[in-house]
Amino acid sequence: MAEFNTIRATSAAGARSAQIDEGLRAHMNKVYGTMSVGMLMTALAAWAMAGLATTTDPSQAAAQLGNGTLLTGIGAAIYSGPLRWVLMLAPLAFIFFGWGALMSRGSAAAVQLGFFAFAAVMGVSMSSIFIVFTTYSIVQTFLVTAIAFAGLSLWGYTTKKNLSGMGTFLIMGVIGLVIAMIVNIFLQSPAMMFAISAIGILIFSGLTAFYTQEIKNTYVAHAMQGDQEWLDKAAYDGALSLYISFLNLFQFLLMFMGQQE
């Protein structure tokens, strides 16, 4: 009888493990799918805003950039007016102050809406890349980023090495990187920008692997407890983490690979 109970317990544990594995695959697909939709929204918002911000008609121009691009009134406001600071700092404020509160108190639908709203605002914030860089170099850099991201994320998912210690170090590095970028807004140092870009690539490459492993481990821990409400929101939290890693990796690579108009 004891042997029968042992076999039954083992079978139940195996079935539970298989269920968690199947749920993990579905969870990761949702994470990557949500992230991809967010990236598409960002790209469309950036492209649309760049179109609204520029003009080829001198009579409609409100300002002109150094490369000769003519800006409409909207373009002058978001690229050279006080509004540019709002667009620049709003995503940071949302990440550091708004997202945690949304995750803890909001529903899964609210968290999803918050993620997509953030993705759209990010598109407006970074729309100037379509004015500064050629479309070819943007597409080329995006493809390189996608290949690198896929490899790094796959390694983070499959490695047996615990990346938690590396993640803590890298997140501290992000804080230092943000401070350096804010300082360089005023210094406008090309050498400092080069160093920031190189360090940024290394940091967000590591964070891509770290976040992937963390998403996997978080799902397994909560799935074993049957916390479905949290898991519904955790997919969007994971998508945001990977979205930010991808976007920053892309922008820093663009500093090296981008060809200016």
Q: Across all residues in the chain, what is the average pLDDT?
A: 87
**Does 21 have pLDDT greater than 50?**
yes
**Checking phi first, is residue 72 left (phi over 0); if not, alpha (psi -120 to 50) or beta?**
beta
Integer Cα distance of 236 and 241 in angstroms: 9
Q: Where are the alpha helices (DSSP H) in the chain?
A: 2-53, 73-79, 83-93, 99-105, 108-125, 129-132, 135-158, 164-187, 190-225, 228-257
If you count them, how many residues does the chain have? 261
Task: Mean pLDDT check: name the lowest of 44-58, 75-89, 134-148.
Answer: 75-89
Cα angle, residue 196 at apex, residues 193 and 202 outer, rounded to 5°: 145
Whose CA is closest to 111, among 121, 99, 120, 122? 99
Per-residue pLDDT at 235: 92
- Whole-number pLDDT of residue 149: 97
Q: Read off the pLDDT band of 16 (50, 70, 90).
A: low
The answer to which of 10-14, 85-89, 133-137, 208-212 has the lowest mean pLDDT is 10-14
Evaluate whether 242 touches 31 at the Cβ level (below 8 Å). yes
- Rounded to whole angstroms, the Cα distance separating 146 from 246 reads 8
Q: What is the mean pLDDT of residues 144-164?
A: 95
The pTM of the full predicted model, rounded to 2 decimals, is 0.88
Backbone angles phi, psi at 226, to 5 degrees: 70, 25
| Residue bearing the bigger pLDDT, 80 or 206 | 206
Q: What percent of the chain has pLDDT over 70?
A: 91
pLDDT score for 214: 94
Judge whether residue 23 has pLDDT over 90: no
Give every CB contact of residue 224 below 8 A, 6+ residues apart in sequence. 20
List, in order, residues 6 or more apart from 50 with CB less than 8 Å away.
127, 128, 130, 131
Gyration radius of the chain over CA positions = 22
- What is each CA distance from 216 to 49, 137, 152, 213, 232, in whole angstroms? 36, 33, 14, 5, 14
Residues in a beta bridge with 71:
54, 63
**Lowest pLDDT segment from 3-12, 61-70, 117-126, 183-192:** 3-12
